[in-house]
Structure 1
Amino acid sequence: MNLQVDIKIDVEDKMAMNLVDMKLWLRRAFEASDYKNDAEVSVRVVDEVEIRRLNREFRHQDKITNILSFPAGFIEGFPNNCMMHLGDIIICSEILFREAIEQNKLISEHWAHILVHGMLHLLGFNHTNDAEAVTMENLEIEILTGYGLKNPYEESL
C-alpha cells in the first residue's frame, strides 16, 4: 500500500515541521491502519482567518480550530489496484504553535500528533462517543510513542 501526499502551504509564518516530516507522520498513521488500497491525501496549512471560515462554512461552527479533516468517504467495491482519495486535512499553524506553548509541548511533537489525528479521521476513526475516543486516542499514542514521541494526552510539566 502506498500513500501519496499533496501539501499546500498557504501561510508565510515559519513552519515547525518540514514537508518530509509531515508526510512521514501521515504515512505512519496510514500504515498503522487496516487500510489496504493505495491512497492519496491533501493537506493544506492555513491561517486563523481561513480555518475559521472553513469551520463556519462546513461545520457550522463560527470559531477557530487547530485542524479540520474532510474524509472523502469509502466506496464499497472500489478496486484494490486503484488509488483512492481519502480526503483533505486543513491545519492552522498559528493555533498549533500557540497550543504547543500553552501545553508545554515540543512544537514538532504537537504537529506530529495533530497530523496523525487528522489522518486517522480520514481513515474512518472518530471520537463522537467515549468508546470511539478511547480507540482513536490509543492508536494515536501507539503510533507516536512507537517512534519515540511522548504520549500527547499526558500532562506536560
Structure 2
Amino acid sequence: MPSPEFSLSVQFASAADDLPSRAQVRRWVAAALEHPAEVTVRIVDADEAQALNQDFRKKGYVPNVLTFEYGEVGRDESGRGVLGGDVVICAPVVEREAREQDKPLKHHYAHMTIHGVLHLQGYDHLDPADADIMESREAVILKRFHIPNPYQS
C-alpha cells in the first residue's frame, strides 16, 4: 500500500558527523505514515533537545526524540484530514545509544524517526498494551529496511 501524501521539511541543526540524508529521512517518514501529513524532522544537538524537553515537558534531561503533535492542520484534495507535527531527534543521544546497543547508527536514526512519526499519529507507549502495539508497528516498518527488531535481544 502506498504511503499517504505528505510534505516534509528536514532540518539539520547539529554539528554531528554521519547524519542521515534527507532522502533516508523521507523514506523512513513515508514508511511510518498512515495519514496525510505535514511533518518537520529536525536533528539537533543536546542543548536544543534539553531546552525543548524542559520548556514543553518540564523534564530536565536530554531525550533521544521528541514529538510535537499539532493535530489536524488542514484537508487534502480528497477531504482527508492532514496531520501536522514536528519530530526532533537529538544526534548525540542517538549516537550514544547506538554505540551502547551495538547497532549501526543509521538503524537507530531510522528507529527514532519512525518512533517519532508514530507518536505524531497518536501511538504511545505509556501503558504495556499500548507499548506492545507501538513496538510491533515499529518492528514491522523497520523490517522493510532490513533493520532488526530493536525490542528483541
Q: What TM-score comes out, normalization by structure 2 length? A: 0.90
13, 18, 22: which one pairs with 1:19? 22
Identity %: 32
Deviation at 1:3, TM superposition (A): 1.4
SS in 2 for 1:6: strand
Deviation at 1:128, TM superposition (A): 1.5
The RMSD of aligned alpha carbons is 1.6
Q: Which position in structure 2 is the counterpart of 1:154? A: 152
Say whether 1:59 aligns with 2:81.
no
- Provide the rounded CA distance (Å) in 1 between the counterparts of 2:22 and 2:127: 33
> Is the 2:72–2:83 Cα contact (8 Å) retained in structure 1?
no
Q: Which position in structure 2 is the counterpart of 1:49? A: 47
Greater RCO (CA < 8 Å, at least 6 residues apart): 1
What is the letter of the counterpart of residue 23 of structure 1?
R
Of Structure 1 and Structure 2, which has the larger fraction of its residues in strand?
A: 2
What is the letter of the counterpart of residue 56 of structure 2?
F
Where do 5+ consecutive residues of structure 2 fail to align? none
- Provide the rounded CA distance (Å) in 1 between the counterparts of 2:37 and 2:117: 12
- Provide the rounded CA distance (Å) in 2 between the counterparts of 1:123 and 1:142: 16
What is the letter of the counterpart of residue 49 of structure 1?
D
- Provide the rounded CA distance (Å) in 2 between the counterparts of 1:72 and 1:127: 19
